[in-house]
Every structure is written in structure tokens, then in C-alpha cells.
Amino acid sequence: MSPITDPRAFGRVAVLMGGTSSEREVSLDSGRNVLEALRARGVDAHAVDGIPALVDALRANQYDRVFNILHGHNGGGEDGVLQGLLQALGVPYTGSGVLGCALSMDKIRTKQVWLSLGLPTPRYARLERGDDVHAAAHALGLPVIVKPACEGSSVGISRVFDDAGLDKAVALAARYMSSTESGELLMEQLIEGDELTVGVLGAVSHEQALPSIRIVPAGEYYDYHAKYVAEDTQYLCPGLDGAPEDAIRKLALDAFHAAGCSGWARVDVMRDRAGNFWLLEVNTAPGMTSHSLVPKAARQVGIDFETLCWQILETSMHGGAQ
């Protein structure tokens, strides 16, 4: 399919944002930016806050397609629930389909798929309520990361370097699990080195891994504050050069495909001090705030924010998720 040149081809577009997940505020910020960019390019785009409001609007035949910029789960749009709804209704949307979203939201199952295909990801333990977290940490070897199995935006994550910090880390992660969930936590080997991320854009013309970004926070690591609030976090793009840059982009594409993703996403990777890469997770609806990383990488290859939003919206017109 050729690239779209006429904004009328998209029809009326719902920019789905907000919702009820723990990432609501980030989603609202992302959504406002996407809405402004699409309208600047002549797209008939409108803000819709959350899935129930979208369902009401779709029943009234108000929209032709959805630009999904909801983040997270439990009322976010990254866990496959929204995608199944839209596919059942025959409404095209941006981003990955049911499988890619549901699998990528579950960090444990994503790691299991990657490991089955020989893709590198840190050693881990799956923890259920009541499991002996101290025994798990010693089996993996401290230091470790403790996080909810199904959250994003660094919500509920702790770095633990000794036994004393384990119970507090588990309690923090457990705060972000609803009573209806299985209660799984992910404990993961802490990889010390460079934190990198690679955006993948499945544009109409060709799929590409964008230049990597190496993230250098002023604090100890890239937490929620460093992602969305701090102004002193450094973003080096491309984060690598030569053969390592080629290798991380290929790895990101392999991880993206293995998780069943389509449209666009962002793949987070660690590079240890020996130069080895370790896959962390895939974000199927990456942030589009002033601090967000996919827009930064896109600019490096000459794709401004408005064009990026247009190209993401184009992916709802072909193959992919609809």
C-alpha cells in the first residue's frame, strides 16, 4: 500500500488516551501531543478518555479508526483487551494486535518466548504471593530487580542489593497488582551497564529499527522521575556506533517479531560491561511526551513529531492490527 497523502483518507480518528491504569497521567500527556500533531496535519482527530467512553462513541458510529495512546493495563490499552474489542467491532487501530499486546504486557511470558528462541534476556524468577523471595534472590544472585510482572513506566520497580531491601521491594511491587490478578512478580538479575532503547516503526513503506538511545540519568538509574520529570537526564542518540549499533537494532527487530508485535513499539535493552546485550521488555504503546524516546530517535533520522504521528496512524490502514 502506498503512503497516505490526504488526511481525509483516515476519516474521523479517536485519539484514545487517559484510562484508568497507573499510567493515566503519562497517557494524557502523550495523547494531547498526538492529538495536536494529527490536527496540525489536517486529520479529523478527537480526544477520547478511556475505553468505556470509546465504546459509547463507537456504538454511535462517531469514529472510523483509533490511534491508541493508552498506556498500561487495568483500563490501559496495552494488554490486548482493547485490541480484542476493536477487532470484534471491525474498527482499525494503531499498534500491535491482541497477541502482541497481551504477551508484551506480561514480562514473564515475553521472557519465556525470547528464551525459547535463543534471544538474550536476564535470568529471572517468577514469584507468586507467599513465595520465599529471599531464597529466590539467593538462587539468582544479588543484586536483583523486583517489579510487577505486568506494569510499565518503571512503576513499582526496585533495585535490591542486599537481603534487607527485599521485603520492601516486594511490598512496593505488590501495590500495583489488582486483587483479580494472579499476583505474579518478576525478580530479575540486575544487569549493570548501559541502558538503551530502540524504537521500531512499521511504516507503510518499510519497517525499521530507529537509532538506539543510550539513557544517562543523573541519579542511580532510569526511574519514573528520570523518565517524566527530571530535566537533567541525558539521551545519547545513536547510543552506539558501528557493529554494536547494527547488532542492537537487529536484536530489537528480532524481539519485536518474536513477541508478535506490529505497527510500532519500543524495545528496552541493557548492555553489560562486557558488551553483551540483554532484552528487558517491549512497550507496545510507547510514550509520546516531551521526554519520550521514540520521538527523539525518529528526529535523528529526519522524522519530525507530526510526521511520526502520521506514519503511526498510517499503520492502521494496512495489514497489522485491524
Name the residues annotated as catalytic: 23, 153, 228, 266, 268, 281, 283, 287
**C-alpha cell, 287:** 510514550
Sequence-separated (6 or more) residues with CB below 8 Å from residue 119: 251, 254, 255, 258, 279
Q: Which of 311, 265, 304 is nearest to 104 (CA)?
A: 265
Q: What are phi and psi of 9, to 5 degrees?
A: -65, -25
Return the SS3 of 287: coil
The secondary element (H helix, E strand) that includes residue 16 is strand 12-17
Question: Using an 8 Å Cβ cutoff, are 226 and 316 in contact?
Answer: no
Number of H helices, E strands in the chain: 11, 13
241-264 burial code (b ≥16 CB/10 A, e <16): eeebbeebbebbbbbbebbbbbbb
b/e 277-302 (16+ beta carbons within 10 angstroms → b) = bbbbbbbbbbbbbebbbbbbbbbeee
Cα distances (Å, whole numbers) of residue 268 to 225, 242, 282: 18, 19, 6
